[in-house]
């Protein structure tokens, strides 16, 4: 008696994150077909026969949800639990994708952004993938310059603090953030200032990231959450 062989299919998925209206959000599309019809899903699809996984996810993001201006893409993990989908044996290679906050992709009607902390009912194991992606981003904010991938090209320190706080899930001290990133050589001044606000006051200096690609800046650094309800976070 021969053993039955179950065909294994391969899909690629992307947790595309962006800081929108001061909140870390993820791009999801609503499934119209079973299984899990009506639930929200990460964009992606089956791996093509002549594609590697990164080429496939970039193509599918561009074709299916019109996301082309990714500032950073990296492979996140492989999800291969036998029961992760009820309809077929499917292995998923998941990616983390980041979109800078000044970009607003024109997504289809069945696709929208959702706060990572308030996800709707998601399909299959997609919630776990989103949580893994958020964890990866938070970790890399500690020891790399990945902030370049979520911030606009130029920003004040206050604006950058807002982006870090949204991604990390707690309030970051602007003074500490500037001190640490300056010490690492991550930021450089543009020589310009932001337009004054309604309250007037001294115009804030504009900065940019010194490098537009991922670099490890301090492999032992840790961004620590505040110790109490009124404490500011610290960076070591």
At residue 66 the predicted structure's pLDDT band, cuts being 50, 70 and 90, is: confident
Q: How does pLDDT run across 80-123, given as a tens digit for each residue?
A: 999 999 999 999 999 999 999 999 998 999 999 999 999 999 99
Q: Which CATH superfamily is domain 9-124 in?
A: Nucleoside Triphosphate Pyrophosphohydrolase (3.90.79.10)
- How much is the average pLDDT of 127-151? 97
Rounded distance between C-alpha atoms, residue 213 and residue 47, angstroms: 26
Predicted local distance difference test score (pLDDT) of residue 3: 53
Closest-CA residue to 212 (of 91, 80, 70): 70
Kindly state the average pLDDT of the residues 31-46: 94
Running DSSP on this structure, what letter comes out for residue 171?
P
pLDDT over 50 at 233, yes or no: no
3 state DSSP class of 124? coil
Assign 195 a pLDDT band (cuts: 50, 70, 90): confident
Query: How does strand 234-235 pair with strand 40-41?
Result: unpaired
Tokens matching residue 209: 């990231």
What pLDDT is recorded for position 65? Answer: 86
Q: What is the pLDDT of residue 7?
A: 83
Helical H segments across 53-93, by residue range: 53-64
**pLDDT tens digit sequence for 41-63:** 999 999 999 999 999 999 999 99
Average model confidence (pLDDT) for the chain?
90
Report the range of poorest mean pLDDT among 114-128, 141-155, 200-214: 200-214
Residues forming beta bridges with residue 44, ordered by sequence position: 13
| Poorest-pLDDT segment among 21-25, 26-30, 231-235 | 231-235
Residue 224's pLDDT is: 67
Q: Same topology for domains 9-124 and 144-235, yes or no?
A: no
CB 10 within 8 A of CB 38: no
Domain boundaries of the chain, sorted by first residue: 9-124, 144-235
Task: Tell me how far CA of residue 21 lies from CA of 24, 25, 28, in angstroms.
Answer: 8, 9, 17
**What pLDDT is attached to residue 220?**
63
pLDDT reported for residue 225: 72
CATH topology of domain 144-235: Arc Repressor Mutant, subunit A (1.10.10)
Cβ partners under 8 Å of residue 122, min gap 6: 28, 39, 40, 41, 130
| pLDDT value at 228 more than 70 | no
In sequence order, which residues have a C-beta less than 8 Å from that of residue 154 and are 6 or more positions away?
A: 190, 192, 206, 207, 208
């Amino acid at each position: 008696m021969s053993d039955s062989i179950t065909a294994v299919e391969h899909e690629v998925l992307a947790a595309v994150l962006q800081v929108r209206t001061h909140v870390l959000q993820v791009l999801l599309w609503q499934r119209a077909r079973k299984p899990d019809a009506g639930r929200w899903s990460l964009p992606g699809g089956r791996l093509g026969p002549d594609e590697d996984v990164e080429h496939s996810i970039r193509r599918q993001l561009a074709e299916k949800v019109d996301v082309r201006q990714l500032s950073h893409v990296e492979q996140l993990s492989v999800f291969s639990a036998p029961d992760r989908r009820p309809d077929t044996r499917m292995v998923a290679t998941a990616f983390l994708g980041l979109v800078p906050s000044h970009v607003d992709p024109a997504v289809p009607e069945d696709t929208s952004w959702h706060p990572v902390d308030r996800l709707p009912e998601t399909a299959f194991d997609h919630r776990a993938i989103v949580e893994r992606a958020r964890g990866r981003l938070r970790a890399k904010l500690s020891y790399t310059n990945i902030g370049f991938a979520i911030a606009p090209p130029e920003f004040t320190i206050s604006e950058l603090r807002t982006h870090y706080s949204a991604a990390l899930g707690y309030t970051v001290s602007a003074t500490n953030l500037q001190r640490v990133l300056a010490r690492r050589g991550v930021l450089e001044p543009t020589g310009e200032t932001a337009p004054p606000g309604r309250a007037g006051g001294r115009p804030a200096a504009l900065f940019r990231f010194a490098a537009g690609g991922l670099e490890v800046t301090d492999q032992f650094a840790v961004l620590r959450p505040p110790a109490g309800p009124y404490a500011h976070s610290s960076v070591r």
